[in-house]
Structure 1
Amino acid sequence: WDRIGAMQRATLVQLLLPLALVSVGGANMAPSPTLASAGASTPGVPMPTCADTDSPSLRLRGGCATAVAGWKSWHPVILALLGTSFGWFMTALGAGAVAIHRLGLPEAAYRKVLDFMLGISGGVMTAASFWSLLAPALEFAESQGWGQHAYVPVAIGFICGGALLQVTDALLGQMQSSLEELDLYKQVATSEASATRTQRLRRLIMLLLAITIHNFPEGMAVGVAFGAIGSTPTATLGGAISLALGIGIQNFPEGLAVSLPLMREGVSPLRSFWYGQLSGVVEPIGGLLGAAFVHYCRPMLPFTMSLAAGAMIFVVADSLVPEMQAHGNKALAMQGLMLGFVIMMVLDVTLG
């Protein structure tokens, strides 16, 4: 000890002091004799906990270090922005994975990877719709006095969510006639006038627009989950975080599903990445709107949560499932779907 300098001794003390405090508290988090005797000598006076004191040592000794995270007091809208920004980042990360095109793998290998990852996306979204949205919506409807009829606002919201996406898809179909005016379309169409190539490009652009539009309800779902924190026993911060993580995970293959086919059709790697990550821009916007609406309009919570769930289920049934089964990889895609469901379930149970 005498051979080391004062700076090194101070550093060791700073590192070892928290460990010493935790060890004094005991692995079983037993209260100290002083606190125990104080509580026992004063009937009716509860033992002090980490929520009742500002003492750092008591927090460490009581094993309550996880309860002092300052970010838990942040506004739900800010938390929703962070959660949906993570989803946008994962979309961009998936779009950046377009670099695997340089590996020179056959077309069948690319399709297997995409279909499996789209299956994971479908499983995550299906599980998230129930664990993180529908179940809390039913609980909150019961607490509002709906009782045995709590399914009424939830069912209405769920149907409206699917109907909203169906109307959006109908409007999207009317945009096909103007695709030739897009700069992206011209870039490829002028390089090769093949009718088959043109048709495939049109389908890719529609996929880009569809994923962009469908990312909005995903962001709204994350925002609603953060805005509903504390409304019901199941509407917790951990549950909202698990939903944000799950949506972020399933955004990775969506970004790749846009950028990789574009690059294989002759679009430059940089432009392919740009359009891929662009599909996730609307997610933070949806998250902000969802969190703000739920936070300031609590009575609408069962409807808005089920609305987001209905929109997500519509995306899975209308877009992801047909796309991942259209290239002869049905079994692989279904394995991915099952895996995605389990991943989201584990995240929700563990963090929620």
Structure 2
Amino acid sequence: MFTRLFEFFESIDPVWGALIATVFTWLVTAAGASFVFFFKNMKRGVLDGMLGFTGGVMVAASFWSLLAPAIEMSGGEGFEKVMPAAIGFGLGALFLFSLDKLLPHLHINFTPEESEGLDTSWHRTTLLVLAITLHNIPEGLAVGVLFGGVAAGIPEASIPAAVILAIGIGIQNFPEGIAVSMPLRRQGMSRRRSFFYGQMSAIVEPIAGVIGAVAVTFFTPVLPYALAFAAGAMIFVVVEEVIPETQQDKYTDVATLGFIGGFLIMMTLDVALG
């Protein structure tokens, strides 16, 4: 199955591949959000476990799919070899830090009084969706820059690695879609609107994916920086958003085990197939 999948992506333009792969991750989010048509409530422990799983996948992907290749493709030795990855990682974290401070948003398990970013009168629903949208920008970018590296002909960037990263992101987007739509449904929003907002949170992924792929295609030397940039942004999201959200209740052990499970699955996929 994976062989045929890799062959398909190798037969098309990598920028189109980035678009298809990130549309896939968006559709998986929509599949998770569709749970609101079948359930109105979901136990908090299950949601925390899902969020923990999401964090584990993101951390594993940040190293195995992004940072390690960024370091490997950088020239030189010692500090010279690691500097592109270090600079890109720092810039990615600072980029998300800036968005976090500027864009009004509200994390899933927090009260309206704990909203972040500039003061606003926006509705709680809008703030929740914006929080997950912030989360999804680096995910789409990560997939896109790997496909862009393939288009630029860089040996360390491969179709299998890009596809496996997209699959990993898709796997963690499924519980993420549930985690966005379920709280909205629980607050009394209709099933259709809860689903709509849940899936819309990931629409930014195809946009970020195509931007990342095109940017790397035209500016090949930036690939190590771009890969590390996506990794830094993803790690910022995990530490600033995902982990704190799972520590608001009594299910911290469930969230921790979910994190470990997500990390193991992503690491195994990347090493075995990427």
Asked whether the equivalents of residues 30 and 198 of structure 2 are also in contact (C-alpha less than 8 Å), the reply is: yes
1:147 to 74, 77, 81: 77
Unaligned runs of 5+ in 1: 1-64, 180-184, 186-201
**Larger RCO (CA under 8 A, 6+ residues apart):** 2
- Rounded to whole Å, the distance in 2 between the matches of 1:70 and 1:96 is 28
- Rounded to whole Å, the distance in 1 between the matches of 2:216 and 2:9 is 20
Residue 149 of structure 2 corresponds to 228
1:151 CA displacement: 1.0
Asked whether the equivalents of residues 95 and 255 of structure 1 are also in contact (C-alpha less than 8 Å), the reply is: yes
1:147 CA displacement: 2.5
Given the two structures, how large is their TM-score scaled by the length of structure 1? Answer: 0.70
Q: State how 1:299-310 maps to structure 2 within 5 Å.
A: 299-310=221-232
Residue 216 of structure 1 corresponds to 137
Q: State how 1:314-333 maps to structure 2 within 5 Å.
A: 314-333=236-255
Residue 126 of structure 1 corresponds to 59
Residue 47 of structure 2 corresponds to 114
- The verdict on how the C-alpha distance between 1:268 and 1:157 changes in structure 2, with shifts beyond 3 A counting, is same
Q: Structure 1 counterpart of 2:155, which letter? A: T
Residue 106 of structure 2 corresponds to none
Asked whether the equivalents of residues 76 and 295 of structure 1 are also in contact (C-alpha less than 8 Å), the reply is: no
Q: State how 1:79-98 maps to structure 2 within 5 Å.
A: 79-98=17-36
Secondary structure at the residue paired with 2:248? coil
Asked whether the equivalents of residues 241 and 351 of structure 1 are also in contact (C-alpha less than 8 Å), the reply is: no
Asked whether the equivalents of residues 127 and 345 of structure 1 are also in contact (C-alpha less than 8 Å), the reply is: yes
- The verdict on how the C-alpha distance between 1:74 and 1:141 changes in structure 2, with shifts beyond 3 A counting, is same
- The verdict on how the C-alpha distance between 1:95 and 1:140 changes in structure 2, with shifts beyond 3 A counting, is same
- Rounded to whole Å, the distance in 1 between the matches of 2:53 and 2:19 is 24
1:178 to 116, 121, 124: 121
Asked whether the equivalents of residues 86 and 248 of structure 1 are also in contact (C-alpha less than 8 Å), the reply is: yes
Given the two structures, how large is their TM-score scaled by the length of structure 2? Answer: 0.89
1:101 CA displacement: 2.5
- Rounded to whole Å, the distance in 2 between the matches of 1:66 and 1:272 is 36
Secondary structure at the residue paired with 1:267? coil
Q: Structure 1 counterpart of 2:99, which letter? A: T
- Rounded to whole Å, the distance in 2 between the matches of 1:257 and 1:174 is 21
Secondary structure at the residue paired with 1:328? coil
1:292 CA displacement: 0.8
Q: Percent identity?
A: 50
The yes-or-no answer on 1:69 pairing with 2:7 is yes
- The verdict on how the C-alpha distance between 1:150 and 1:170 changes in structure 2, with shifts beyond 3 A counting, is same
1:68 CA displacement: 9.9
- Rounded to whole Å, the distance in 2 between the matches of 1:160 and 1:306 is 9
The yes-or-no answer on 1:207 pairing with 2:137 is no
Asked whether the equivalents of residues 157 and 304 of structure 1 are also in contact (C-alpha less than 8 Å), the reply is: yes
Residue 89 of structure 2 corresponds to 158
1:216 CA displacement: 1.3
1:350 CA displacement: 2.1
Moved over 4 A (4+): 65-68
Q: Structure 2 counterpart of 1:134, which letter? A: L
Q: State how 1:214-293 maps to structure 2 within 5 Å.
A: 214-229=135-150, 230-233=153-156, 235-293=157-215
Asked whether the equivalents of residues 50 and 179 of structure 2 are also in contact (C-alpha less than 8 Å), the reply is: no
- Rounded to whole Å, the distance in 2 between the matches of 1:328 and 1:219 is 32
Unaligned runs of 5+ in 2: 104-115
- Rounded to whole Å, the distance in 1 between the matches of 2:73 and 2:241 is 30
1:67 CA displacement: 11
Structure having the higher Rg:
1
1:338 CA displacement: 0.4
1:232 CA displacement: 3.5
